[in-house]
Structure 1
Amino acid sequence: MIKRLRGIRFQLMRSELYIIYFSLLVIALISFFTYSVLQPNWLSLEAIFFLLAMFVIVMTPVGLYVIFNKTKSIKERINTYSIFVSMLQQGKYSAKLYLEDADDELDTFGEELNDLAKKMKDQVSTLQRLADEKSEFANKAHIAATMEERQRLARDLHDAVSQQLFALTMMSQATVKLIDKNPEKAREQIKEISEMALQAQNEMRALLLHLRPVFLSGEPLNEGIIRLVEELKKKSGMQFHLDIDEGIDLSQSKEEHIFRMVQEALSNILRHANAQHVTLKLKDRDQEIYIHIDDDGVGFKANEKIDQKTSYGLKTMKERCEEIGGTFRIKSQEGQGTYIDIRIPK
């Protein structure tokens, strides 16, 4: 309520009251001056106070009513501009602001907003065209990228799975020696071995997930994502809730970017989230493609520095999204899972 009273409309109403009461002060000064200096017979103190009281009683509600109605259209136009800016923030660059031909400052501001939206739409189209051209070069560099990916997987195997298997070997050998001497401690170490084996298994599944082809190999985007999820269902205990539209008409470059973003998100969930349920939505809306991925895993503090590998994956997803003119948002807290929203204009 207090915030509304600070709005432009109420500021103009307060200005109107200032004008009314300043006018009242001027009338009072003139009346008292006339009464005390000129002393006409027709003017009395009672008449002056009656005049001032009637001025306050009549002009205050009349002035407020007039300014309230006059500012109604201004408020509606400002609200329209605010909604239009919100649509631009959501990536709806094809939206257009219809002006009222008032030929005032607000109309000029509206024309500038329309020009800005047109420029943003042109820039998104340029980004998407560049992404298509980039896709052609990417096909030519596929062999080199495959070699680089093999080297990366080899490093990940050495840094993650290989070290975990080595640690499992050492701990299991130590546990065998403790079984007779200290059964309780041996039982605790067996639990740690089980947790480490599960983590190593998840790391291996995530690496195998990245062994899928970079491209969709001619299959539609929705079928490629469903096949990816079906593979994860067989290899993990996670439950997936899918809501994927069919027949989404996109360029090859956009489909490849979306597929790799979904692949990277599922890999992060498998490797780090320890989740039981995953929701994945891919919706074809009027002006945009909407992608939502969330899990009920351990989450993390999004405003703090996170694990280097995870942050690299999220950074890659954000860069892929921006390459095709989209917006990328992530929300996560410890113990509350992770939510990813991606919006890509058509």
Structure 2
Amino acid sequence: MIVSLKDTLKANWQDVIYKTVPVGFIFGVLFSTVSFFASFGFTNIQLLFLPFLTGVFSGIGAIIALAATNILTEKTTLGKTTIQVLSFVLAATTNTVLVLIIFFNQEIMSIRFEAFFGILFGLGLGAIYAMYSYKVGQMQERMEFLEALAEKNKQLQEASRKLAITDERNRMGRELHDSVSQGLHGLVFTLHSLRNVLQEPNERITSILNHMEATANSTLDELRTMIEELKPSLLAEQGLTKALTVMTDLFSQRHQIPINLDIQTPDNLSAEVELAIYRITQESLTNIERHANAEHISLTLAIENYDTLLLLQISDDGSGFNVEQYTPNSLRQQFPSSHKGKGSGNGLLNIRQRIEETGGTLKIVSKINYGTTIIAKFPL
């Protein structure tokens, strides 16, 4: 604290002196002028001496106020306005004591009642100004707090809006991938099978089959492009770390479930893996919300195995389930990601598919009443 105080005084004392001493000197000139015309009884030498004295007192008071402000800021949790008022009171009290010592020492200077009254009047005006400053400062602090709160709410609303858009894009992407895309794949496969079944098809039938296959493949390519364009805007604009942070923060605020984050992302991570990690995290949080009844969640994204693997681990302390009872084929029926509508995704099966599509591996660790951990590893 002492070092900090010395540093503060060393850095600011000249600026404080330059700003306060001239003000005190001007006040002294005004007081001397009033004393001269009001016949307070000061000698000419005393009247000339007063401006210099008030200037010195102003400088001393400012230095005391600066030191008090620094100490109170470091050692207390008082508000800025309260600290300023206390610093002023301390500086004014010190100056009052100095004035009384000087003026009551008859060897240095005699004092008249009018002069002492003027000093008290000046301190009274200072106290009134301090109270006014205190009230104004409190109002300013409240306004600053409300403005900061409004800005935070604005940011939260904007993030919520983006998340809502992202959720809708995710839903549309899953619908297109799980329903339309699979249907087109089935159509192409059926056309291939039909071509093989037909014995010596004529030119007209062959032309129709070729046209249908070309149309189906073209539509499938366009669909893949549409699904890629539905990539979350937050992920595309601000990167994986920011996207995961915003997603988990909003989830935590919405459901009052604390989430511990530990995110480390490599520089060379492909867009495909980034999107998979984002979707897997989103799907996992949805499953936790609807099935786990968890109180705590942790998410870890870390580089492992000498920079050759990327680990994504999502854990909760919820209800858990018996992993041994479920196979990949049964996950579609047992763990839907939503019970609220048709075609809303396939929960853990969807997570498994996304991981396998990027060449990764999935491990699920869970036990009834002991939570669930999703462990996904992606090659780098």
TMscore range, shorter length? 0.3 to 0.5
Normalising by structure 1, we get a TM-score of 0.38
Q: Which has the larger radius of gyration?
A: 2
Normalising by structure 2, we get a TM-score of 0.35
